Structures are given as structure tokens and as C-alpha cells.
Amino acid sequence: MSWRGSSPLQVSALSVAEVHFPDQTGKMRRLYDSSEAFRGMCEDLAAAEETLAHVDNLPAREREDRRKEYGSLVEELVIEIGEALARANVVMLRRFDIGRQKAR
């Protein structure tokens, strides 16, 4: 599935994650397209940030606890996404088989 053909919710999740890593948007889009786990992290981040943005609508006695909870969740997800991006820098090289190349 291409990010260009994604639903608005999916593009929104990717856009939310891209805010935290603006210099890696191309890599994020490739990972978003190819990794269900990465898409899940982005969707979780978008949901956590959405909830955090609306925490003031909660009853007063719950606000601070939820603000801490979701703020911490956002921080953890940003770290996890950053780690996934770092792992994506690993390039797998294939062994060049000279014998096979000559046989052609």
C-alpha cells in the first residue's frame, strides 16, 4: 500500500510522526509503506498525541494524571520510532557470485 493511496487517518498518523523527524520523511514514508509494525507505532503516536491534546476536556481530578501518562507515552513512542529509523540505516549487501556472472 502506498502512502499516497492511504486513508486520511493513515496519512495523518504519518504526518504526526514526521513532525518529530522532519529530516527523515523519505525514510519514514518507505518504512510506513513496508512495515506494519512501523505503521502501528505511527498510529499509536498519533492517537496518544490526539488524546494529550484533549486532556483538558477530562474531569479536573483526572487531567494531570492523564497528561503525565500520555506525555510519557508520546516520549516513549518517539524514541521507539527513532530506533526503528536508526535500524533502517543498516544496508544488507548481497554477495557477488563471479561464477554465476561468467556463466551468462
Residues 22-50: tens digit of each pLDDT: 999 999 999 999 999 999 999 999 999 99
Contact criterion met (CB below 8 Å) for 32 and 18: no
Whether the predicted pLDDT of 1 surpasses 50: no
Match 540505516 to its residue by C-alpha cell. 89
| Rg of the chain, C-alpha, whole Å | 19
Structural domains counted in the chain? 1
Q: Which long-range contacts (CB under 8 A, 24 or more apart) does 13-18 make?
A: 13/39, 13/42, 13/43, 13/45, 13/46, 14/42, 16/42, 16/45, 16/46, 16/49, 17/41, 17/42, 17/45, 17/46, 17/81
Range of the domain at 29: 3-103
